[in-house]
Amino acid sequence: MPTETSHRYVTFSRNIFIPVTNICRNACGYCVYRARSYEDAYVVGTEAVLNLFRQRGAATEALFTSGERPERAAALSSLFTARLAEEGFSSLSTYTKHLCQLAIQHGLLPHCNLGVLSRKELSALKDVNASMGLMLETTAVLDAHEKSPGKDPVVRLQMIAEAGRLKIPFTTGILIGIGETQEDRIRSLERLAALHEKFGHIQEVIIQPFLPKPATVMEHASSPPFAMMKHTVRAARTILPAEIAIQVPPNLISPKELIELGASDLGGISERTIDYINPEAPWPAEEDLRRKIAPYELHERLPIYPRYIQEGWYSDRIKPLIERYADEMGLRRKGH
């Protein structure tokens, strides 16, 4: 079978998806995650999170997401502050750090993607995270981000760089089909490659297709054609350093042809929770996924990639879990 990649297996992680809050300062033209009213806004409570931990199944990763800077979310900021105070905290980062500590106690390795964070917040969260993330999405200035101050590419690239300075294993990615051009996609990949060359911290880059959502500004826009996804994966494999995995989401797109072009990871798959960013797209069953990607093998990893395990890019707080779960290759140990 002709192929542009030499890898024999594709990785994924088992996670539980915990949306800490859907209150967000951004109003992206394609997003259904963000709360639009008091009625649908929430801050997840500690007890609800503990219930998820108790039902985690075989997951090793606790994926924490949230709206960005909810304390600046105009009409809903007071609601966020009040709900957080009920839990005994005054900021998103301190509350999420508390939840990460509970996750570790329940045998889960945290991965936080909370939007744009300061260096101080990144540093505070580093010790209780196996890895962290922030989608770049694009270096272009787009209509879809007109009401989203946090989607300023300069701001997002600065945070990704700060994570590198702090030696945090990092996940980022680009969103395809939101109004950017082919040149924009290439430029975005080049900027990520340059950051990794400087800091060595980007473990994976997600190539994610836009899917139109009802009741959004872009509900009538079209998803990117598959040829665009193929071109972008091929370009990513050429532009990005070889040690960076290219991830494609198997609940949003058929992965086989993209694996042949260089994709080598399928991201986190949950047995217990939905994809809150794309709630209409259920996770594929593991056995179905194995059949779809054959002859490539499916291997389970942790939220921190093997390279960073080998180089010791993790804290003493999560060291016992790394030693419990990681095999000699840095992948998930069978039976643990």
**CB-CB contact of 15 with 62 (8 Å):** yes
- Give the pLDDT of residue 258: 98
Q: Which of 75, 71, 70, 64 minimizes the C-alpha distance to 39? A: 75
Reported as a single tens digit per residue, the pLDDT across 57-75 is: 999 999 999 999 999 998 8
Backbone angles phi, psi at 71, to 5 degrees: -70, -10
Confidence tier at 19 by pLDDT (50, 70, 90): very high
- What three-state secondary structure class fits 109? strand
Query: In the predicted model, what is the mean pLDDT of residues 11-36?
Result: 97
Kindly state whether residue 16 falls inside one of the protein's structural domains.
yes
The CATH number for 30's domain is 3.20.20.70
Arithmetic mean of pLDDT, 301-323: 98
pTM confidence score: 0.96
For the chain, the average pLDDT equals 96
pLDDT in tens, 234-278: 999 999 999 999 999 999 999 999 999 999 999 999 988 989 999
For 29-42, what is the mean pLDDT?
A: 96
- What are 199-245's pLDDT values in tens digits? 999 999 999 999 999 999 999 999 999 999 999 999 999 999 999 99
Residue 300 lies in a domain: yes
Domain extent, residue 136, equals 9-325
Contact, 205 vs 231, CB < 8 A? no
The number of domains in the chain is 1
**How would residue 5 be classed by pLDDT, with cut points 50, 70 and 90?**
low
Residue 3: its pLDDT value, please? 41
Q: What's residue 2's pLDDT? A: 36
pLDDT in tens, 140-181: 999 999 999 999 999 999 999 999 999 999 999 999 999 999
127-143 pLDDT, tens per residue? 999 999 999 999 999 99
Give the separation between CA 7 and CA 118, rounded to whole angstroms.
Answer: 36
* pLDDT higher than 70, residue 302: yes
The pLDDT of residue 61 is 98
Place 1 in a pLDDT band, splitting at 50, 70 and 90.
very low
CB atoms within 10 A of CB 147: 13
What's the chain's Rg over C-alpha atoms?
A: 19
Reported as type and span, the H/E element at residue 325 is: helix 319-325
pLDDT at residue 171, rounded to an integer: 98
Task: Report yes or no on 76 lying in a domain.
Answer: yes
**117-124 CB contacts, 8 Å cutoff, 24+ apart:** 117/93, 117/159, 118/162, 119/162, 119/165, 119/166, 121/93, 122/159, 122/162, 122/163, 122/166, 122/168, 123/166, 124/93, 124/94, 124/97
Give Cβ neighbours of residue 123 (< 8 Å, ≥ 6 apart): 166
Q: What is the C-alpha separation between 92 and 116, in angstroms, rounded?
A: 12
Residue 6 pLDDT grade (very low, low, confident, very high; cuts 50, 70, 90) = low
For residue 75, being part of any structural domain is answered with yes
**How does residue 300 score in pLDDT terms, banded at 50, 70 and 90?**
very high
Residue 7's pLDDT is 76
**pLDDT tens digits for 71-101?**
999 889 999 999 999 999 999 999 999 999 9
Length of the chain as a residue count: 336
Alpha carbon distance 155, 223 (integer Å)? 27
Determine, yes or no, domain membership for 307.
Answer: yes
pLDDT at position 111 = 98
Q: Within a domain: residue 250?
A: yes
Under DSSP, the state recorded for 333 is P
Asked if the structure places residue 301 within a domain, the reply is: yes
pLDDT at 286 exceeding the cut of 50? yes
Residue 206 covered by a domain: yes
Residue 307 has pLDDT above 90, yes or no: yes
The 10s digit of each residue's pLDDT in 319-329 is 999 999 999 99
